[in-house]
Structure 1
Amino acid sequence: MPISRRLFATGTLAAALPLSACSGGSPSGPTGGASTGTAGFPVTVPTAFGDVTVPAAPRRVVALGWGDAETALALGVQPVGASDWLAFGGEGVGPWATGLYDTAPEVIGTLEPSYEAVAALRPDLVLDVKSSGDRDRHDTLSAIAPTIGIPTGGEDYLTTPQQQVTAIAAALGRSELGQELLQRNDDAFAAAAAAHPGWEGATFTAASRTTRGWGAYVEGSERVGFAERLGFVQNPAIAALPVGESGFSVPISAEQLEVVDADVVVVFPIGVPAGDVTADPVFRAVPAVAAGRSLVLDRDVASAYALSSVLSTRWALERVVPLLEGLGDLP
């Protein structure tokens, strides 16, 4: 995995934000509790590393991939170990998943997890679905327990929410519930888009501002996909730029910042205060910004948007739509 992608996917986002697996969750949780039955097992899940067989309903799950733990929680399964990619602290999840653990998981490292710590948790399933796709990492984890890695044909950290939910739901024996969760989100996006016909075809830039400077997300990134599901289209000026090593973003110099101009500009501050963005005179001179058609997302909304788990996406949608509405009519 290129070093730049690793830094972008983990370190910079973290900087921006700075034992009961498969036990029943709270009845008020997203699934109303988890079954401990073994119906439907064994199951076989295709991955980029070959088919993986899960012999029985997992009872001790370790979730290491980006958003994998929240996906398991959405399906009613509480991991005993999990990686906290966005440095939330505590249980390692955002506010959209608060209260879904009965017992906090042991927090495991992200880019370089302690395999000893994983093994000590005696898992019967490891989730590493939205991850680096590193073969050595996968083989080491697979020696501990059946490991669900990136999907067939997948790329590092570019596992889509649909692929993530589908794979994890299959491994947990909850495929039907997984599809229900995805459909609920699809329906929510469709309803929001239908309620705002003025967004259809409007151009959209998802920009980033880090300690290293400016950038923008491109087609295939979930930040752009989120807006497209609401009817927006990617800023064609951004689409024309060469994609950086990350695979989902392009660097932008301060001198060319006007390229972010679109009907709507949304900025993700990463490792810098939002005030540094709004006070930047070059940013303020961008026509859309000067016209009041820009958003600089706060920590929680940016985190939810970036994580793109089945839980955080819906939470972000409920907050981003009113923010977009507040921009008024688009050109």
Structure 2
Amino acid sequence: MRSRLGDVRRLGGLLSVLLLATALSACGQGGSSGESTGEATDNAAFPVTVSTKFGEVTVPEKPERVVALGWSDAETALDLGVQPVGVSDWLDFGGNGVGPWAAGEFTESPEMLGTNEVDYEKVASLEPDLILNTRSDGSGEKHQTLSKIAPTIAPPADTVPYGTSWRQQLDLVSKALGKPDAGQARIAEVERAFSETLSQHPRLQDKTVGVGAYYGSNQYGAYLTGDSRVRFMRELGMTNKPEIDELGSGSFYVDISRERLDVLSADLTVVFAINGSPRQLRQDQLLNRTSAAREDRLVILDDPEVVNAFSSGSASGMEYALQQVAPVFAEHVADS
């Protein structure tokens, strides 16, 4: 309303009556001036330049149609008040493709897109002006193709596939959306949540952890330090068991043969099923013979919603998981 007022004044006294009518109408609608000011502030942030593993990417104007392709990119955008028009559902949430802790933030359902295999034509049909692909496999070929559709924010430099941390993701996405201050504020909120939880459960500090998944067909895997689940544990003061990280590099996980399953045993061991059931895990005799199981240092996550929150790597997902799992972890971690 204030910008219109300046325009009308420049037109002179002849339009004074129109000015009065416009002012009264705007006041009757209520609150529009604050919204206009906020929008003007957002627009003033552009153009913005974001550094990625493929170089600097410039977003020329405030994006109105955002496509979120990367793991938890959609939840991160929602966290910053932006609703993507298209999303990839990495954890098979269904619905709007995000966890229940974020699903209600959509007022209009987004178009559902693929995950590992990108349907470029479908992405282009959404006419995006920004593509978020910050937690992804980091494929140069995919990035080149997506960049022909719209400015594309890739992972940061020197990250393994899907290894973008939640801090890096919030930083990249908030900058691309012209909301860097909001991104930093959100990072501080999550850090505070972890800090407060650790103060409530100090037993977790400086302990080792092994995080594994059961893929079905008697196949297990372990997550490496660059994975979001291990980062979750690190925020709680824990360290990934060194012997696990020695098993692989250049990825976020490594397969483990059943004969070596005890490598997951640490001060705390956390396991969940991906293509199987928690019942199978609990009945697995080999898992039950590991030192972690025998010494009551094994936690099997059996609530799918909690598993997804723990695996999401998004700020809101981690906050949800934190409330559910921290007390259980503290109960089963080894004594000092």
TM bucket, shorter chain? 0.7 to 0.9
Q: How far off is 1:50 after superposition? A: 1.8
CA contact under 8 A between 2:201 and 2:326: conserved in structure 1?
Answer: no
Q: Does 1:80 align with 2:78?
A: no
Partner in structure 1 of residue 163 of structure 2:
158
Using the TM superposition, name which of 268-277 and 199-208 deviates more.
199-208
Which residues of structure 2 form unaligned runs of 5+?
Answer: 1-34
CA distance in 2, matches of 1:218, 1:159: 13
> Number of paired residues?
297
Counterpart CA distance in 2 for 1:178 and 1:209 is 34
The one-letter code of the counterpart of 1:299 is: P
Aligned pair partner of 1:223 in 223, 229, 242: 229
Q: How far off its partner does 1:251 sit?
A: 2.3
Residue 261 of structure 1: aligned partner: 265
Residue of structure 1 equivalent to 2:281: 277
For the Cα contact (< 8 Å) 1:199–1:330, is it kept in 2? Answer: no
Q: CA deviation at 1:152?
A: 2.6
Greater helix share, structure number: 2
Larger radius of gyration: 2
Residues 133, 108 of structure 1: alpha-carbon distance in 2 compared, 3 angstrom cutoff:
same
Cα distance in 1 for residues equivalent to 2:125 and 2:200: 50
How far, CA to CA, are the matches of 1:235 and 1:262 in structure 2? 7
CA distance in 2: counterparts of 1:140 and 1:233, whole angstroms: 38
Cα displacement (A) at 1:35: 4.9
1:262 is paired with a residue whose SS is: coil
2:18 equivalent in structure 1: none
Please report how far the alpha carbon of residue 325 of structure 1 lies from its aligned counterpart in structure 2 after TM superposition. 3.5
Higher RCO structure (Cα 8 Å, ≥6 apart): 1
- 1:193 is matched with 198
Q: Measured at CA, do residues 248 and 154 of structure 1 come closer, stay the same or move farther in structure 2, by a change above 3 Å?
A: closer
Over 3 Å counting, the alpha-carbon distance change for 1:102 and 1:184 in structure 2 is same
Counterpart position of 1:18: none
Instruction: Answer whether contact 1:202 1:330 (CA < 8 A) is retained.
Output: no
Amino acid of the structure 2 residue aligned with 1:127: L
Identity percentage of aligned residues:
42
Matched, 1:250 2:261: no
State which drifts further: 77-86 or 217-226.
217-226
Unpaired stretches in structure 1, ≥5 consecutive residues? 1-31
Query: Amino acid of the residue matched to residue 242 of structure 1?
Result: L
- Structure 2 distance, partners of 1:55, 1:179, is 22
Residue in structure 1 matched with residue 240 of structure 2 by the alignment: 234
Cα distance in 2 between the residues matched to 1:242 and 1:236:
9
CA distance in 2, matches of 1:221, 1:156: 9
Q: Secondary structure at 1:46's aligned position in 2? A: strand
Residue 155 (structure 2) pairs with residue 174 (structure 1): no
**2-structure distance, mates of 1:180, 1:138:** 29
Q: Aligned-pair RMSD on alpha carbons?
A: 2.0
